[in-house]
Amino acid sequence: MTIFKTILVGVDGREGGRDALALAARAQTGWGGALVALHAYPYDYFVSRGSDSEVESVVLGEALTLVNAELERAGVAAEPEAVPDGSPGRALHLAAERHDAELIVVGSAHRGRIGRVLAGDVTTGTLHGAPCPVLVAPRGWAGADGDLRRVGVGFDGASESRKAAALAHDLAAAAGGSLRIVRVVEPPPPGGPTLHYHADWAQQRELILQAAQQEVDELAGQLGGEVSGEAVLGDPARELAFEANELDLLVTGSRDYGPVRRLMLGSTSAKLVHEAPSPLLVLPRSAAEAGEDLHAT
């Protein structure tokens, strides 16, 4: 089953890029067709000293050599590409549009904890405004014997999370794996001089959780296959990150306001790029979701 026709991966010769390349290769095996490996190299030299075709050719050749060396090191077959751009995130966005890519894969910051996603400057720059889903590899993923069979998805009842659930279901099915739906019910913040929770919330909590579980069960039934789900109480990012300890991949939608079909991180997704212990796939905000927002205002 081909989920993504083209997968674009950022390669930089560092550990984060190698994690991304390893994850992209695994994603290609299970989900996709063509793989493009992109390296964005600085263009400061040309800005400060003027363009010289011979120098540009040499620098481009060195950048392509880096990409090919990384592909050979990883034993991965991909189309190598190098472009001059001071912003790797922007370079990945432009390349995704040029190749009509349906997935961008990037690594985490090299200073993060092993086995955790931690967005550095390149990762953050790629996540914000991306024209397609972005998959982030945890630090050290290249050295792990990981697969992508146990897929989880954050679900909050909105159309964007239903879109994320449908994609997560397809990804799990393509890998011959399972899907776990996690519906996190967030209690209201404490307020008042005694910092007590609202009385009506305390009285209605079980009913709210039961309604949320019913929503999860209905979605699981609609999706079919090896699907389970649970409604839990707590902070969405914290609970999803906890669930991800038992997952090979966590999928979430983006809920912040921004251009249609562009990835703009909401608060939960933003926290997850710092806390998730598994690869994290974030979807852009869809046209359907944008329509809902307009109707709600």
Model pLDDT, residue 110 = 53
pLDDT along the chain (297 residues), means of 10: 92 92 94 93 62 75 95 96 90 95 86 50 76 90 85 90 93 95 84 55 82 96 95 92 94 66 62 85 63 38
Report which of 144, 135, 179, 149 is spatially closest to residue 248, judged by C-alpha positions: 149
Same domain flag for 66 and 153: no
Model pLDDT, residue 297 = 36
- Provide the number of structural domains found in the chain: 2
Same domain flag for 30 and 81: yes
pLDDT tens readout for residues 145-202? 778 999 999 998 888 889 999 999 999 999 999 999 999 998 876 655 545 555 666 6
Same domain flag for 31 and 44: yes
Pairing of strands 134-136, 280-283: antiparallel
Q: Where are the alpha helices (DSSP H) in the chain?
A: 15-31, 44-49, 53-74, 88-99, 121-127, 159-174, 199-223, 236-243, 267-275, 287-296
Question: CA–CA separation, 268 vs 266, rounded Å?
Answer: 6
The reported pTM is 0.85
- Domain with residue 159: its CATH number is 3.40.50.620
Q: Which tokens in the block code for residue 109?
A: 């910051």
Model pLDDT, residue 77 = 95
Same domain flag for 165 and 278: yes
Same domain flag for 154 and 221: yes
Same domain flag for 123 and 188: no
Q: What is the DSSP string of 27-77?
A: HHHHHEEEEEEEEEE--HHHHHH---HHHHHHHHHHHHHHHHHHHHHHT--
Q: Which tokens in the block code for residue 119?
A: 């967005």
Model pLDDT, residue 49 = 53
Same domain flag for 109 and 163: no
**Domain end among 124, 145, 166:** 145
Domain that holds residue 205: 147-297
Token pair 């990012």: residue: 237
